[in-house]
Amino acid sequence: MSALNINGREYTVDVDPGTPILWTLRDTLGMTGTKFGCGAALCGACTVHLDGQAIRSCVTPISAAEGKKITTIEAATNGSDPVGTAVHEAWVKHDVAQCGYCQSGQIMSATAFLKAQPKGKQPTAAEIDSAMAGNICRCGTYARIRAAVADAAKTLA
């Protein structure tokens, strides 16, 4: 049995400690906002936050999350997180989403990036590109992603 804090709520799950966080979220708890992409931590579709850090949930075992806080796309975009809300609103404004494959992971990476910035800092295009480099968009909306992250940063300033 593993005790987990997910989106501010306590859960007890009966899964092997080596089970990836992704499958615990999706299969055990029914939280399907976090997506499976490559299964090798290469595409970023499965990105969640572990104690505020963006991690790849497809390769991170549930044992690594005990005593820590997991935040998923469901909590980042439900209106209670100002940074997640700003990113989500910018995503819609800039019409970033196409197929949807990468969107939850992209938003989670962008949210972690902006939370790590000093208050009011406006990241450069190069900084945004570097922060988002681990997330693949098979539709190629990288220019819109960059614009949305920059716009969210301005909103939060």
Q: Are the C-beta atoms of residues 45 and 37 closer than 8 Å to each other?
A: yes
Work out the angle between the directed axes of helices 103-115 and 142-156 (0-180°, nearest 10).
40
For the residues 97-103, what does the mean pLDDT come to? 91
Structure token digits, residue 69: 């806080």
Q: pLDDT digits over 6-16, tens only? A: 999 999 999 99
Q: In what order do the strands lie in the sheet with 53-56?
A: 9-13, 2-6, 69-71, 47-50, 53-56
Q: Are the C-beta atoms of residues 96 and 106 closer than 8 Å to each other?
A: yes
Decide: residue 99, CB within 10 A, 0-12 exposed, 13-18 middle, 19+ buried. exposed
Q: pLDDT digits over 122-157, tens only? A: 999 999 999 999 999 999 999 999 999 999 999 999
Reported confidence tier of residue 82, pLDDT bands at 50, 70, 90: very high
Strand-strand pairing, 2-6 and 53-56: unpaired
Q: pLDDT digits over 125-134, tens only? A: 999 999 999 9
